[in-house]
Amino acid sequence: MRFKAKLAMEHVQLLHNMVGPISRLTSGGGGSLADSGVSGGPLLGGSSSHYPSAFGSGGTVMHLDPEHVRISTRGGSGSNGGTSGSDGDGIACFAELATCNGIFLEHRIESASDNIIVFEIDLAQLRLALQSVLFSNGSFGSKGGRRSVAQSALHNSGDARDSSALAALPALVTYVVVMKLAKRGGFPCLCLDASCSGGSIDVHHAIPVRIMRAAEMQYHLPPRIDLPDVQLELPAERPLRPVVERLRTISPQIFLEGSMAGELTLRIDGDGASIRIFYSKLIPRFEDCKTSAEENNNGDNEPARCTIKVDSKKLHACLQWQATMARSVSSAVLCMVENEMLVLHIMLNPGDVGFFTYYVPVHFLSPDQID
């Protein structure tokens, strides 16, 4: 079994921006080996008997093959330090990234299982490792104040403008980042090794993983759902996240009412008050939808509609990407399946790089509640 890939700094940035929001679904800190209850770990000269607990049960599985990298995460699975009932509890997220002409400059994947490698990893630790690589890259050429720009971008990653600041950092120095599977202290790890052209600084991270059989990936595939009743492309210039962030402080649940006429309403009902937020002129998407474009444009038929009820914290959790990587997204489609699922499908920019999709459980609504 062998995996080794070389990444450019913009690939590291894209991976970090995508992994960040997804890693928070698993409700754990997963910050470091020390945070995981490992006293130093073999890499730091500690006891190896506790080292396997470093990745805990992070709820994240990575699938590698020569064409794609796939990441499957289930929220609230109790990763290190996590608790049940988190914001991401019950949410599933599935990401797929292209390897060739995607996130790798070059790569090599070999295994006895048709060159497929599957392992479990703590995604929070991967996020911190990627962040460390980005931070180290920004620390070069600090005499003119460039270091402060990098630090500001990393510590204020909630601002989309900071991502653009980091995107400009690769020009400071030629940086090589290598990702590979290797053993450290006798345990399998996903390693990130970064070095600059001058050789002044090297960064090394080893994230413990649990190697799985390739056949086990079948238990970590996206859930099967019915065709959506309503599909709407979300407007990039009118993000939902700030609205949902305010609504979740008022009500634990939000009603979403969508129409294939390009309309979306967010509604909360409280004691003596009701709030509605309207989005109009959205683009209906008819691909893989219950309603075809011909049926929708038929003047004799009303546009298809759907109402779902979702936990406001869960909806907010799957919109965090809008804060850090809006410029890296080409489109985002909201799919509503009545009394079954809310799906948010995000395509990266350019479109052939990949996508990630959130699957959010919804509350059952009786016919009188829908009307």
Give me the pLDDT at residue 77, please: 52
pLDDT digits (tens, 9 = 90+) for 190-212: 999 998 766 666 889 999 999 99
Q: Is 160 exposed, middle or buried (0-12, 13-18, 19+ CB in 10 A)?
A: middle
Q: How far is CA 139 from CA 125, 161, 235, in A?
A: 21, 19, 36
Give me the pLDDT at residue 2, please: 97
Task: Retrieve residue 118's tokens.
Answer: 């599957």
Spatial separation of the C-alpha atoms in residues 15 and 121, rounded to whole Å: 15
In 233-366, where does DSSP find H-type helix? 241-247, 293-297, 312-317, 321-324
Cβ neighbours, 10 Å, residue 182: 13
As separate numbers, helices (DSSP H) first and strands (DSSP E) second, the chain gives 9, 18
Cβ neighbours, 10 Å, residue 286: 16
3-state secondary structure of 122: coil
| CATH numbers and ranges of domains, the chain | 2-220 (3.70.10), 230-370 (3.70.10.10)
pLDDT tens for the chain, residues 1 to 371: 999 999 999 999 999 999 999 998 885 443 333 333 333 333 333 333 344 444 444 479 999 999 999 999 998 754 443 344 567 789 999 999 999 889 999 999 999 999 999 999 999 999 999 999 998 876 333 333 334 333 333 333 444 444 444 444 444 456 789 999 999 999 999 999 998 766 666 889 999 999 999 999 999 999 999 999 999 999 999 999 999 999 999 999 999 999 999 999 999 987 878 999 999 999 999 998 988 876 777 666 789 999 999 999 999 999 999 998 888 899 999 999 999 999 999 999 887 899 999 999 999 999 888 76
Task: Retrieve residue 260's tokens.
Answer: 């294939």
